[in-house]
Amino acid sequence: MIEAIAFYSMAAVALLGALLVVSLRNTVHSSLALGLSLAGVAGIFANLGADFLFAGQLLIYVGGIAIIIVFVVMLLGRTSDLHLRQVNQQWGAALLVCAMTGVSLWRLARGYLGVRAAAPAAPTTRAIGLLMLGDYAVPFELVTLVLVAALLGAIFFSRKSADGEVPS
Amino acid sequence: MLQHVYLIPLIPLAASLLILLGAKEDPRSPMPFLGIAATGWCLLQSIAIFYGAATGALSLPYAADWSWFTFGATAGGKPFLYDMPVGVLIDGSAAVMLVVVTLVSFLVQVYSLSYMRGDPRFKRYYAYLSFFTASMLGLVVSSNLLVTFCCWELVGFSSYILIGFWFERPEPPYAAKKAFITTKLGDLGLYLALLLIFCQVGSFQIPQIREYVARGFMPAAAATAIGLGILCGAAGKSAQFPLFIWLPDAMEGPTPVSALIHAATMVAAGIYLVAKCYFIFAVSPVAMETVAWTGAITALLAATMAVVSYDIKRVLAFSTVSQLGFMMCALGSWGFSAGLFHLTTHAAFKALLFLCAGSVIHAVHTNDMRQMGNLDKKMPITFFATLAGTFAIAGIPGFSGFFSKDMILEKVFEHDHESPWPMTVPLFVLMALAAFSGWLLDRGEFFTRLVHFDALPGLAPAHEAAHAPAYLTWYVTAAVFFAIYLAYRLYGGSNFREAESIKRRCAPVFNLLERRYYLDEFFLALVGLSDQAARLAFWIDSEVVDRFFVDGWGLLMLALARLCHLFDDSIIDRSVDATGGLSVSLGGTLRWIVRRGLVQEYLLWSAAVMSVLTLLTLPAQRYCLGASVGLGLLAILTLLLVRRPR
Amino acid sequence: MSLGHYLLLGAALFIIGLFGALTRRNVIGILMSIELMFNAANINLAACNSYLHPAGVAGMTLAVFVITVAAAEVVVGLALVLAVYRNSATAYVEDFSLLKG
């Protein structure tokens, strides 16, 4: 019972936030709604018993990515666009595509509706840590490389040169 | 010495090759003596064999064979391994021929030492003479008919090169060609006869063929065909009717050559071959009759042609043809010994007459008899020799010709006593007209004992021998003396008024005789006919076959190739181009997708495709699949509708 | 709650994100929609891990990797957006049609 309430509420938050993301005109509002949606997803993780993911989601996604997006939206400063549409001309075709994809995904997921949890959730942090530095050590290191590359790329693309020109 | 009889043809051959290759042309060259020595050795051997056979010291027939090659053959339906040997067969007739050939060849070679002196090709002449002697001796001693045929051809070739010896003038090469081709015509018949013999008997060996015929395996039809073929060959080589046209023209060669080849030996080869294969004629009455009639016709025709000729050598040539006809007629009348006896005597006296004629020509430098006369005081030896020869050939009693001709007449008379007129009357006329002789053995009985035909057991001549009446000889001698008187009356003296008037009055007859019964024109027409036939065949080949079939086929192929090219060009190439064009237009169409350069449209397209694919991976129930495909089409439709120009 | 619920939630979140990616005019809006799609995938991973393989944590580990890579991608994307905005003074993706033709 508790679990159902928890699930449905968190799901509602996530979906509501998502809908707001794709439909609001104000980009700032949109980005804030993204944060809300990500928090809802964190709640879903908590429902599943994925404690590390729950914490990581909040820390990284909500506390990091959503904030950065808000920063950049404000940097762009297009608050005067509130009168313009934010959804482009191909929304109908996109709707159809999404419907078709939804149909197939729904049919896929429908088969698993009867599957129940086999055992109560257990803490996972320790296990994830062991796996990261054990079997998945190589992907772990590669991911650090990816982060370094992203850092460098971001710095490179967003700096100004000495005479005020931006690098193209 | 019979063991070395195979050397007799080989020694002159070696001498010929040595003379040809061993020395340069030199008027004082010693090479001719090599040829004379070789022939002399053969002469000694032949005389020894003849003497041994005559006294009975040597037993004849003698045969020796050496293996040449073997092959598988079938005779009478049964296969066997055929062993083709090369060998010698010496019987009575061969022994006599050996002596004749070697003796005349030897005498002619000695004669030529003086006659041909100063000729630029003196040495080569002797090589040719030795080669001829070798071929003729090979023909005489061979026991294998195929080897005999080879030597037959070689003898013909020797005649060709010797007739055309003085090839700077235009007539000798023409005469040589004529001789060769005419004899070749006869050789065709001989070759067919040889093939028939092999088909029938399965062997070329004379003793084996004789055995085959003796046992009665040879059917009469085959024997007739073979006999006629052999007669054909003999007619060519021995100048019988109608193939004698080459012999008068062959007088273009040097006189010693005429003496050796065209009087004594080569022309006797045909008679000798008929004699060697006499057992075949014995079982075929048709062939035997044909032989006799051919001989008789030839004798008469040639003698008539000799009457109108003024060239001394031509007269002798016609006389030779006539005498050969005589011999052939003898053979055809079961006169085996008579024919060969006359061959022997004729060789001697004809050679004598030719050599005398050569001596006269050498002295007066002309062949025309009308310009010769009163030479008896200036050339006494030649005069007496010619006289002797003339008496011999006329058959004056006591000379050899008398005996041999007498024997022939007896045989002919016996053979055909039912109807003597067609056969014997021409013979009477003959002897009166021709003239030649040499001294030889006189007792016909002796010759018959040596040279005779063993009647095959069970195949004796069908008719009984009736003896010729005694008055035959006296009639003949009287005719001879009358003919000599007539000739003296007409041609004695320096003017020929009476002869000329007779000639004017019988002009058509003389014309016919001078044109040699138009036989030359007949053969030339035959040649022309074959030329026309060849031209026709060539026309057919080049116009019809080549143009219609070959070129037509080529044109057909060309048309087919054009069709294939058309097909290739229009259909295949077009389809290839169309495929390429399809790719290009498809690409161009697809470019329409990215025409506006908007990333979100790309994203839309890929999302649409992905969604359709995900639908298809689901387990398809019909409504679901239909709904999804319909939705997909609607999506595409929407996509198309929303593309408003920017 | 069964696995199916979580999968349906993930599917819905994914579809909403797909719709946003196809229709938002602002570049940052597209990036945000992509983040939604990443989160949907993470939900799927965690749910399947919990329900189908409760003994192991491989799904969650992969989800951690996804979060990391998504973070890196957002950073780079935003830097690019900033650079492009400085050049063209527009943040609308329909103006970036250099790939035209």
C73 and A CB contact within 8 Å: yes
Would you say C40 and C10 are in contact if contact means Cβ atoms under 8 Å apart? Answer: yes
Would you say B108 and B49 are in contact if contact means Cβ atoms under 8 Å apart? Answer: no
> What is the extent of the structural domain holding A147?
122-161
B498 HSE (CA, 13 A, CB side): 9
Among A50, A81, A112, give the residue marking a domain's end. Answer: A81
Q: Which pLDDT does position B600 carry in this prediction? A: 84
Does A116 or B582 have the greater pLDDT score? Answer: B582
Burial letters B95-117, b for 16+ CB under 10 A, else e? bbbbbbbbbbbbbbbebbeebbe
Sign of the C-alpha dihedral computed for residues B185, B320, B470 and B440 taken in this order? negative
pLDDT of B438 strictly over 60:
no
Q: Is residue A69 part of a domain?
A: yes
Sign of the C-alpha dihedral computed for residues B493, B348, B13 and B250 taken in this order? positive
- pLDDT (average), residues B560-569: 88
- pLDDT (average), residues B569-594: 85
Looking at the fold, whether A135 and A70 belong to one and the same domain comes out as no
Q: Answer whether A44 sits within 8 Å of C6, measured CB to CB.
A: yes
- Determine which of A146-155, B326-335, B354-363, B398-407 has the lowest per-residue pLDDT on average: B398-407
In a 10 Å sphere around its CB, with 0-12 CB exposed, 13-18 middle and 19+ buried, how is residue B439 labelled? Answer: middle
In a 10 Å sphere around its CB, with 0-12 CB exposed, 13-18 middle and 19+ buried, how is residue A90 labelled? Answer: buried
Encoded amino acid at B275, one letter: A
The closest of A104, A81, A92 to A27, measured between CA atoms, is A81
Partners of residue C30 in chain B, C-beta under 8 Å: 600
The closest of C69, C32, C66, C34 to C49, measured between CA atoms, is C66
User: Between the CA of residue B70 and those of B79, B81, B84, B145, B193, what are the distances in Å?
Assistant: 13, 7, 6, 16, 22
Q: Which pLDDT does position B435 carry in this prediction? A: 34
Would you say B300 and B424 are in contact if contact means Cβ atoms under 8 Å apart? Answer: no
Q: Is residue C19 part of a domain?
A: yes
SS (H, E, C) B209-252: HHHHHHCCCCCHHHHHHHHHHHHHHHHHHCCCCCCCCHHHHHHH
Q: Which pLDDT does position B457 carry in this prediction? A: 44
Q: Is residue C99 part of a domain?
A: no
B629 and A CB contact within 8 Å: no
Band of residue B138 on the pLDDT scale cut at 50, 70, 90: very high
> CA-nearest residue of chain B to C95?
B598
Q: Is residue C101 part of a domain?
A: no
The closest of B419, B432, B416, B349 to B387, measured between CA atoms, is B349
Measure the CA–CA gap between B478 and B509, rounded to whole angstroms. Answer: 26
Q: Answer whether C22 sits within 8 Å of A94, measured CB to CB.
A: yes
In the complex, which subunits touch C with 3 or more CB pairs below 8 angstroms?
A, B
> CA-nearest residue of chain C to A93?
C22
Measure the CA–CA gap between B498 and B476, rounded to whole angstroms. Answer: 26
Q: What is the pLDDT of residues B17-68, one digit of tens each?
A: 888 887 777 766 777 888 889 999 999 999 888 888 878 777 778 888 888 8
Nearest Cβ partner for B600 among C93, C100, C101: C93
Band of residue C82 on the pLDDT scale cut at 50, 70, 90: confident
Q: Which pLDDT does position B432 carry in this prediction? A: 39
The closest of A63, A140, B261, A96 to C62, measured between CA atoms, is A140
- pLDDT (average), residues A89-104: 85
Q: What is the pLDDT of residues B299-314, one digit of tens each?
A: 888 887 877 777 778 8
Q: Tell me which of A70, A79, A105, A168 to substitute to probe the interface with C (most C C-beta atoms closer than 10 Å).
A: A105
User: Is residue B422 reached through a cis peptide bond, with omega within 30 degrees of 0 on the bond before it?
Assistant: no
CA B28 to chain centre: 37
Encoded amino acid at B191, one letter: Y
- Determine which of B220-234, B435-449, B501-515 has the lowest per-residue pLDDT on average: B435-449
Averaging pLDDT over each range in A31-45, B371-385, B387-401, B579-593, which range is the top one?
A31-45
pLDDT of B428 strictly over 60:
no
Q: What is the pLDDT of residues B152-180, one digit of tens each?
A: 999 999 999 999 999 888 889 999 999 99
User: Between the CA of residue C21 and those of A102, B351, B600, C28, what are the distances in Å?
Assistant: 15, 135, 8, 10
Q: Which pLDDT does position B446 carry in this prediction? A: 46
Where does chain C have alpha helices with state H?
3-23, 27-52, 58-88
Q: Is residue A23 part of a domain?
A: yes
Looking at the fold, whether A67 and A9 belong to one and the same domain comes out as yes
Q: Tell me which of C74, C84, C96, C98 to substitute to probe the interface with A (most A C-beta atoms closer than 10 Å).
A: C74
Q: Coil, strand, or helix at residue B365?
A: coil
CA B261 to chain centre: 17
Q: Which pLDDT does position C44 carry in this prediction? A: 95
- pLDDT (average), residues B630-645: 68
Does B100 or B625 have the greater pLDDT score? Answer: B100
Please tell me the distance in Å from A87's CA to the nearest CA on chain C: 5
Partners of residue B591 in chain C, C-beta under 8 Å: 101
Q: What are the residues whose beta carbons fall under 8 Å from the beta carbon of A94, sequence distance 6 or more?
A: B604, B607, C18, C19, C22, C23
Mean pLDDT value across chain A: 87
Q: What is the pLDDT of residues B455-471, one digit of tens each?
A: 444 444 444 444 555 56
Partners of residue A68 in chain C, C-beta under 8 Å: 74-75, 78
Q: What is the pLDDT of residues B252-270, one digit of tens each?
A: 888 888 888 877 777 789 9
Partners of residue B629 in chain A, C-beta under 8 Å: none
DSSP state of B533: H
User: Between the CA of residue C96 and those of B179, B398, B557, C27, C73, what are the distances in Å?
Assistant: 113, 148, 65, 10, 20
Would you say B403 and B444 are in contact if contact means Cβ atoms under 8 Å apart? Answer: yes
Mean pLDDT value across chain B: 78
Looking at the fold, whether A2 and A76 belong to one and the same domain comes out as yes
Looking at the fold, whether A55 and A130 belong to one and the same domain comes out as no
Give CA torsion, residues A50, A53, A55, A60, to 10 deg: -170
Encoded amino acid at A124, one letter: T
A109 and B CB contact within 8 Å: no
Q: Which pLDDT does position A13 carry in this prediction? A: 96
Q: Is residue A100 part of a domain?
A: no
Q: Is residue C77 part of a domain?
A: yes
Q: Answer whether B599 sits within 8 Å of C96, measured CB to CB.
A: yes
Q: Which pLDDT does position A108 carry in this prediction? A: 84
Nearest Cβ partner for B635 among A96, A104, A105: A96
What stretches of B267-353 adopt beta strand conformation (E)? none
DSSP state of A123: -
Q: Answer whether B638 sits within 8 Å of A107, measured CB to CB.
A: no
Band of residue C36 on the pLDDT scale cut at 50, 70, 90: very high
Partners of residue A97 in chain B, C-beta under 8 Å: 604, 607-608, 611, 635
Q: What is the pLDDT of residues B53-62, one digit of tens each?
A: 878 777 778 8
Nearest Cβ partner for B600 among C22, C98, C101: C22
Q: Which two tokens stand for residue B374?
A: 């009163």
Q: Answer whether C78 sits within 8 Å of A68, measured CB to CB.
A: yes
Q: Which residues, listed in sequence order, are joined to residue B89 by a DSSP beta bridge?
A: B63
> CA-nearest residue of chain C to B610?
C18
Q: Which pLDDT does position B464 carry in this prediction? A: 42
Per the structure, the count of domains in chain A is 2
Nearest Cβ partner for B615 among A90, A92, A104: A104
Band of residue A142 on the pLDDT scale cut at 50, 70, 90: very high
Share of chain A above pLDDT 90, in %: 52
Would you say B337 and B317 are in contact if contact means Cβ atoms under 8 Å apart? Answer: no
Q: Coil, strand, or helix at residue C32?
A: helix
Measure the CA–CA gap between B313 and B255, rounded to whole angstroms. Answer: 8
- Determine which of A8-17, B137-146, B318-327, B340-349 has the lowest per-residue pLDDT on average: B340-349
Q: Which pLDDT does position B522 carry in this prediction? A: 84
Partners of residue B595 in chain C, C-beta under 8 Å: 100-101
Does A147 or B569 have the greater pLDDT score? Answer: A147
Q: Which two tokens stand for residue B53?
A: 């056979």
> CA-nearest residue of chain C to B590?
C101
Nearest Cβ partner for B598 among C18, C21, C94: C94
Q: Which residue has the tokens 């036989």?
A: B519
User: Between the CA of residue B517 and those of B242, B510, B577, what are the distances in Å?
Assistant: 10, 10, 86
Work out the number of other CB atoms within 10 angstroms of the CB of residue B274: 27
Partners of residue A65 in chain C, C-beta under 8 Å: 35, 70-71, 74
Please tell me the distance in Å from B567's CA to the nearest CA on chain A: 48
Nearest Cβ partner for A121 among C28, C50, C86: C50
Q: Tell me which of C94, C95, C96 to substitute to probe the interface with B (most B C-beta atoms closer than 10 Å).
A: C94
Supply the pTM of this predicted model.
Answer: 0.58
The closest of B321, B320, B330 to B292, measured between CA atoms, is B330
The closest of C74, B299, B512 to A146, measured between CA atoms, is C74
pLDDT of A123 strictly over 80:
yes
User: Between the CA of residue B210 and those of B72, B207, B638, C3, what are the distances in Å?
Assistant: 22, 5, 116, 122
The closest of B144, B152, B147 to B65, measured between CA atoms, is B144
Band of residue B444 on the pLDDT scale cut at 50, 70, 90: very low
Partners of residue A104 in chain B, C-beta under 8 Å: 611, 614-615, 617-618, 628
Please tell me the distance in Å from A109's CA to the nearest CA on chain B: 12
Q: What is the pLDDT of residues B85-114, one digit of tens each?
A: 888 988 888 888 888 899 888 888 888 887
Partners of residue B626 in chain A, C-beta under 8 Å: none
Q: Answer whether C70 sits within 8 Å of A65, measured CB to CB.
A: yes
Looking at the fold, whether A62 and A135 belong to one and the same domain comes out as no
Q: Which pLDDT does position A143 carry in this prediction? A: 95
- pLDDT (average), residues C77-82: 90
Q: Is residue A15 part of a domain?
A: yes
Measure the CA–CA gap between B254 and B252, rounded to whole angstroms. Answer: 7
Sign of the C-alpha dihedral computed for residues B278, B279, B282 and B288 taken in this order? negative
Would you say B263 and B351 are in contact if contact means Cβ atoms under 8 Å apart? Answer: yes
In the complex, which subunits touch A with 3 or more CB pairs below 8 angstroms?
B, C
Nearest Cβ partner for A93 among B604, B628, B644: B604
Per the structure, the count of domains in chain C is 1
> Domain holding C33: CATH number?
1.10.287.3510
Does C52 or B500 have the greater pLDDT score? Answer: C52
Q: Tell me which of A88, A108, A160 to substitute to probe the interface with C (most C C-beta atoms closer than 10 Å).
A: A88
Partners of residue C65 in chain A, C-beta under 8 Å: 139, 143
- Determine which of B113-117, B176-180, B365-369, B406-410 has the lowest per-residue pLDDT on average: B365-369
Band of residue B643 on the pLDDT scale cut at 50, 70, 90: low
- pLDDT (average), residues A95-102: 87
Among A81, A99, A131, give the residue marking a domain's end. Answer: A81
Looking at the fold, whether A71 and A134 belong to one and the same domain comes out as no
Q: Answer whether B591 sits within 8 Å of C101, measured CB to CB.
A: yes
A105 and B CB contact within 8 Å: yes
> CA-nearest residue of chain A to B606?
A97
Work out the number of other CB atoms within 10 angstroms of the CB of residue A152: 11
Q: Which pLDDT does position B155 carry in this prediction? A: 93
> CA-nearest residue of chain A to C21?
A22
Quick one: which H or E segment has residue B289?
A: helix B285-307
Kindly list the residues of chain B whose beta carbon comes within 8 Å of any beta carbon in chain C: 591, 594-600, 603-604, 607, 646
User: What DSSP line would sit under B142-196, residue for residue?
Assistant: B-BHHHHHHHHHHHHHHHHHHHTTSTTSSHHHHHHHHHHHHHHHHHHHHHHHHHH
> Domain holding A50: CATH number?
1.20.120.1200
Among A24, A49, A81, give the residue marking a domain's end. Answer: A81
Looking at the fold, whether A75 and A129 belong to one and the same domain comes out as no
Nearest Cβ partner for A100 among B635, B642, B644: B635
The closest of B221, B251, B240 to B159, measured between CA atoms, is B251
Work out the number of other CB atoms within 10 angstroms of the CB of residue B624: 15
Q: Answer whether B607 sits within 8 Å of C22, measured CB to CB.
A: yes
Q: Which pLDDT does position B231 carry in this prediction? A: 93
Q: What is the pLDDT of residues B531-548, one digit of tens each?
A: 999 999 998 888 887 887
Band of residue B151 on the pLDDT scale cut at 50, 70, 90: very high
- pLDDT (average), residues B490-506: 65
Encoded amino acid at B390, one letter: T
> What is the extent of the structural domain holding C57?
3-92
Please tell me the distance in Å from B619's CA to the nearest CA on chain A: 10
Encoded amino acid at C74, one letter: V
> CA-nearest residue of chain C to B606?
C22
Q: Which pLDDT does position B411 carry in this prediction? A: 67
pLDDT of C16 strictly over 80:
yes
Q: Answer whether C29 sits within 8 Å of A21, measured CB to CB.
A: yes
The closest of B52, B209, B240, B66 to B145, measured between CA atoms, is B209
